[in-house]
Structure 1
Amino acid sequence: MYTPQFKSTGLKDVLSFYSTPLVQAATANMNNSSSSTLVTSQPPIPTITTTTTTTNNINNIENITPKKNMKENHFSNGPLTDVKNIQQQQQQSSSSENSSDNDDDEKNLKVLHGSSPTSSPNFKSPKNKTLKIKRVKSIVNHLPAIKSMDDVVKLQEEITENRDKISNLQQQLSTVQKEKTTIEEEKINLIKQLKELEDKQKSTEDKEKETKQLLIESENKLNLTIESLHQEFDSKISTITNEHTINENKNHQEIFSLKDQLSILQSKNQQSLQQLEKIQKENQEKSISIQNDKLLIEKLESDLKNSNQNNLEINSTLDSTQDTLKSVSKDLFFSTCLSIKLNLLMISKPCNLSTQDLWEQAEASQISSSNYAKWISLKLNEYHNDLPPSSPMKSIYTNKTTTTTTTTTTSNNLSKSPKRNGKKK
């Protein structure tokens, strides 16, 4: 029994082997058998497919078959090929094979090279072509020795398995990139909301200042009006009392003087009575004006109370806006922490730190929202620097656990954080 042995020089020897041993087997069968059929069964010509997938596209599968040698030797695919013709054609093609060896080497290198991972956008391909050729030659030299069709089948199965693994990794990468884009969009939206809330806060503060100034001006005006009313009231009372005293003195003098002149004084008394009635009317009018002034003072006091109530309402709206601003800043902190953790996880640097603990530390140190990303990245880098070097299996396990913990913690914290209300009071 003929047992072929292969040198580990690559796929070219395998392909050249499958062209010659078939002829030897056919001649051996012709000497032993008397029938006209020389070769009854041919082993299937192996097809070695090399496929590599990139992030941009999956390149077409390139088949390596010994069709070129079959065409050069004018072999027919039928089982009844004449052995003498085959031997003559082999001798003729042996001279041409030596010249085409270099071409076959280059073609095999191109086929094996295919669409290598260097075509991916993340890989920086070298500009020098000789480096590429040397790298591919080293890959070909390190290929395993193929001794039978089972090895070819195993190699093909390994290629398909690697292709499936690469496609799965690409799908995972695309999902992670989509999650990253969604998180960045949420971050942009939160930053916009923060800016809007800051603008609202500024506007409310300006309104509060304006209202305070208006209240101060109104209080000053009220004080001035009250002082002026008090002065008028005092002046009017003083004039009335003076007039009353003068009138009484006059009356007494008239009484003493009118004892002798009763007839004359009666008429004068009537005149004085008329004057008294006039004075009483004037007093009534003055009392009415005083009552009106009192009513005006009460109205002004009620206006002052209303203005104080409005001031309290403005203070309550300010407190509510501060609460919403705090909740929005908390959401921003959690989203930035999640995005940084995902980026570190993409670089295979998982982190088990709790985002709630980081948030409490940030509140304690009073870090502004613009410095959240820097502060979180510093804390995570300190955490990674303090960690001891771990085994690769442990790192894979921690990657899985950190992804689950980060997602659960962020979801819990976001559910605990108060909802933003856009209602105006």
Structure 2
Amino acid sequence: IKPYATEVEEMLTEGPGVFAGENYDKEKLEAELMKLPSNLTGEKAYQYLIHYLAEDYEPYVKKLDQFDTTYEVGAGPEGTVNQPPEAQQKQINVVVLLDASGSMAGRVDGYTKMTLAKNAILRFADSLPEQAHVSLRVYGHEGSNQKKDKEVSCKSTEQVYPLTPFKKDSFEQSLQKFQPTGYTPIALAIEKAAQDLNGQDGNNNIVYIVSDGIETCGGDPVTAAKSLHTSNIRPIVNIIGFDVDKAGQQALKEVAEAGGGEYATVEDDADLREYFDQQQRELIDAWFDWGIDTSLDLNKQLLEKRDQLEKLAFTGQGILNKMQEKEYDNMDNAVRFMQEKGKITLYEMDVASKLIMNRSDKIDRYLRKRFYEIDEILRDNMFKIDEMITEKSKKEREKLEGE
């Protein structure tokens, strides 16, 4: 029989004893105790009791030492292009598909629709958070809108700004590379957008399509949008219909719905600006709600984690505490049995009882100490994250309100 531990950390690894936990059998234990020699010292009796009755604390102590004191925080309002850096960070990817068909040369408020669309897209891209990556792809910009050039035009789509962080000068230059020209291969552009986002699964991907008309190249944009949205990339496809007739609006709405996004129709420059202003207002509200909801969720997580901690090591309730109490009772009963059967004297029983009490007290104090240490870490972590969430929500709203 090995020597008994004197330090609490070692006491917690002495078990399991032969009759510890579910293996406890009073009759078998007493039979083993009757085999022991008479006139044992208190220390020797205690040593035997450790051998037979020390509980198996170690697996639960490991759980205590490895207790998860972290919190999960959502990455921000779902489907938005702004994300808090304190969250489990996802890359933000915004892909803009711009219709460069001939009809975009039509004038609204004295400007071509293409000019107004370019200005709105530039303004929108410039408002994205610094960590966002943005891509610009045009379609229908080659050939012409004449029948003889339809094949060329319907095969034309080009990524004029690759999926990278936004740089205003470079983005402006990319907007000057094309003019309204040909047909409208929306489906092809959506399919190519999937390639632009290749490898970006797990990130926050959003596709915006700006168009003044429906597919005119025989493609199936609804199927393309659905395929893109249900792929591993899982982007949301939003469509902004610019000066579109009712039939076109319905067709584009179906594409947006298939892509898991929304369709918005705009008639002029004011509408176009209002669309993006409304996006900002919705984001402001979303960030406010996110701050409140996330704070409430943090408190819920704290309560759940404290409940888990209490089940491990809370006085009178935790698994470890119940093991400690059971161990004390079993050892106390066993040492009294040994004294009754003449294995130890009354004096030596008192020595053994003090060792049992000392062991129980040390383990109890250790569990209390660990419980309050972990509980304090849980609370500190929650308060720190809650402060960051409040500050992030406020900062994002102020940034949007200032744009």
Normalised by the length of structure 1, the TM-score is: 0.29
In terms of fraction of residues, the more helix-rich structure is 1
| Greater relative CO (CA pairs within 8 A, separation 6+) | 2
Normalised by the length of structure 2, the TM-score is: 0.30
Larger radius of gyration: 1
